[in-house]
Amino acid sequence: MENIFNPIKSRFKEPLIKNMCEYNELMDKFKGDYEGTWASFADEKIDWFKKYDTILDESNAPFYKWFTGGQMNVAHQCVDRHLDTKKNKAAIIFEGDNGDQQILTYRELAYEVNKTANMFKNKFDVKKGDRVVVYMPMIPEAAVVMLACAKIGAIHSIVFGGFSAEALRDRIIDAEAKLVVTADGAFRKGKPYMLKPVVDKALEEGCECVSKVCIVERNGEDIEWVAGRDYSYNELVKTESSVCAAEPMDSEDPLFLLYTSGSTGKPKGVQHSSAGYILWAQMTMEWVFDIQDNDTYWCTADIGWITGHTYIVYGPLAAGATTVMFEGVPTFPDAGRCWRMVEEYKINQFYTAPTAIRLLHKTGAHEPSKYDLSSLRILGTVGEPIDPPAWKWYYEEVGGSQCSIVDTYWQTETGGHMISPLPAATPIKPACATFPLPGIMAEIIEEDGTPVEIGEKGFMCVTKPWPSMIRTIWNDGERFKKSYFGDCKKDGQPVYFTGDGAMMSEDGYITITGRTDDVINVSGHRMGTAEVEAAVKKHDNVASVAVVGKPHEIKGEGIFAYVVLKSVPSNHNDQTADEFEVMKEINNIIKTEIGAIALCDDIAFVPDLPKTRSGKIMRRILRSIVKGEAITQDTSTLEDPSIVGKIEEIVNR
């Protein structure tokens, strides 16, 4: 029999959704009056400057609009509106890699946001609608910069600090950013690392849109200053006023862009709205993390990813919570770092990726027992499937079998959680995302909208628009339609397809089975095979390449490349050494083009790729080979059927 874990009720005082009856009632309410129920939450949660006229505008589907005619401001929602009741409450607790600590109360955060917002306006001429690219480490100033953009209506586009200069440049150009905000660098595993030189390199060509760079001092290392372009944040912000009125923003005004990988082409700039996004960020924070006034909440993500946006900055602050920001890595200086922090800050909700859980399990299985972790009430996971052994360790060793685990399924495009247990209500099955959250019409269907049979795999779709959904791909509405509304229909109408497969058990539990497209999930980070392949092809000696995901003990999936070389190394006596050299060169190119997160774990040099007669690469065969699975596909239609055996031999030797 399957294990089911019921919430430990004594750990919860006043959860918003107390049991499955309440969950079902709320879901029924949405089903009975979808728009009206969303409106009642928007009325309750958002501090509107001007009330909206229309709840949902579907006239230009799939470019849905929510709460049109309404005005509000996300920075006001996250900071200013709390000042009456929480001005002295900690908004952000920061812990540096080196153990530095800093606490910003809501009042201090408001001051910093206002000063920074004024600096953006006065010193950098940033106006409503301008794009600001943020390339920063995990320091409080990063959150301040995000909120300062929101305060004046500028659209931020955060680029993860692990991306290379090339990747940063692509994103700057696509967003036509006016300003780049960065830091000299930061600290990682006890050592300084640099960010500003990467910005310098990115701006070397093609970024004429950027006139200024604003640099926060973090690690104090020497950097080059370009006169007339580079300015010190720390110097400029000093003289700014700490009073700044919030720009009234229309509900649909973009709050931010965040680039993410698709199955084809370059990364796409996912555009999120102001009102709908923040509403769901706040609601899920309250429902899924059961945020209570005295809680201290910690999400270990980086602000460069959507999890950092919604569940380090916007969600927690909109909910008036105390959010922990951590600059370092979970295993430095030792595998007890996280648990020491949980004990010290009395963390109530801990939210991380399965990759981190597997790593902490492997490197310090018994570390949790050395600390007092009794403050924990909810443990969260995000970004990739969690495997049952990791789940068990998390539940038993970290949670002491007393915490609810919320396996949250969602995406950059969904803005916030879609499918997740409710911690005080949902009986949990290990490694299962369980049920759609109230208001989310998630359905597992076939392409034509037919619901799939119990236990069968289908397409994970959301069949009604919801407030925090992606609005478009920046500058590319057609790609938006094609990427998300091109595959599945219900009642003849295109519906949002996540790109994931899923299945449902007899009792309605949803398990995500993984991507159905060519996106690889490395350590919970999305990597497009097309992007990696484009980088590999830049190597002079590469004739063709196909990249697939290979199961990886810690990272979930690693990147595996099949490469056909133009000329096979001449010295056949030492072919392996030559191939090793080429592999190093290829990975150097990937590092330059994308960043270290996209490095290939392994490369197989093969004589050719399995192609159909029309030239299409049969990736499914390549995926099966790397997983050691039997080839079930019909290989007789291949241009050269014998290639499969040859590749298998190379991979397995």
Taking CA atoms, 544 is separated from 564, 569, 605, in Å, by 5, 16, 10
Using CB under 6 A as the criterion, what x/- string covers residues 416-445 for binding ligand PRX?
-----------------x------------
Select the residue interacting with ligand PRX from 73, 498, 523, 587 (CB under 6 A). Answer: 498
Q: Which residues have C-beta within 8 Å of that of residue 486, sequence separation ≥ 6?
A: 494, 497
Nearer to ligand PRX, 472 or 498 (CB): 498
Q: How far is the CB of 410 from ligand PRX (least distance, A)?
A: 5
Q: Is 597 in the site for ligand PRX (CB under 6 A)?
A: no
Nearer to ligand PRX, 421 or 610 (CB): 421
Select the residue interacting with ligand PRX from 137, 185, 368, 385 (CB under 6 A). Answer: 385
Q: Is 500 in the site for ligand PRX (CB under 6 A)?
A: yes
Q: How far is the CB of 381 from ligand PRX (least distance, A)?
A: 6
Taking CA atoms, 83 is separated from 91, 105, 111, 150, 294, in Å, by 11, 10, 11, 17, 16
Q: Which residues have C-beta within 8 Å of that of residue 79, sequence separation ≥ 6?
A: 91, 106, 109, 110, 113, 147, 317
Select the residue interacting with ligand PRX from 108, 384, 487, 518 (CB under 6 A). Answer: 384
Q: Is 109 in the site for ligand PRX (CB under 6 A)?
A: no
Select the residue interacting with ligand PRX from 71, 271, 300, 307 (CB under 6 A). Answer: 307
Count other Cβ atoms within 10 Å, centred on residue 573.
9
Nearer to ligand PRX, 282 or 412 (CB): 412
Closest by CA position to 110, among listed 95, 129, 93, 91: 91
Helices (H), 165-320: 165-175, 196-202, 233-238, 275-288, 306-308, 315-318
Nearer to ligand PRX, 410 or 560 (CB): 410
Q: Is 356 in the site for ligand PRX (CB under 6 A)?
A: no
Q: How far is the CB of 175 from ligand PRX (least distance, A)?
A: 18
Q: How far is the CB of 300 from ligand PRX (least distance, A)?
A: 13
- The answer to whether 61 and 83 are in contact (CB under 8 A) is no
Stretch that binds ligand PRX, among 12-20, 379-387, 435-443, 539-547 (CB under 6 A): 379-387
Q: Which residues have C-beta within 8 Å of that of residue 569, sequence separation ≥ 6?
A: 575, 578, 579, 582
Residue type, 35: E
Closest by CA position to 357, among listed 596, 523, 549: 523
End-to-end CA distance of the chain: 40
Q: Is 512 in the site for ligand PRX (CB under 6 A)?
A: yes
Closest by CA position to 257, among listed 164, 162, 146, 175: 175
Nearer to ligand PRX, 335 or 473 (CB): 473
Nearer to ligand PRX, 368 or 499 (CB): 499
Site for ligand PRX in 397-416 (CB under 6 A): 407-412
Select the residue interacting with ligand PRX from 96, 185, 316, 383 (CB under 6 A). Answer: 383
Token pair in block for residue 545: 């390449």
Residues contacting ligand PRX: total by CB under 6 A? 21
Select the residue interacting with ligand PRX from 306, 561, 586, 621 (CB under 6 A). Answer: 306
Rounded CA-CA distance 114/121 in Å is: 11
Nearer to ligand PRX, 71 or 307 (CB): 307
Q: How far is the CB of 270 from ligand PRX (least distance, A)?
A: 8
Beta strand pairing call for 472-473 and 268-273: antiparallel
Q: Determine the distance from the C-alpha atom of residue 529 to the mean position of all C-alpha atoms in its chain, rounded to a whole number.
A: 18
Contact residues: ligand PRX, CB under 6 A: 260, 306-307, 382-385, 407-412, 433, 498-500, 512, 515, 521, 526
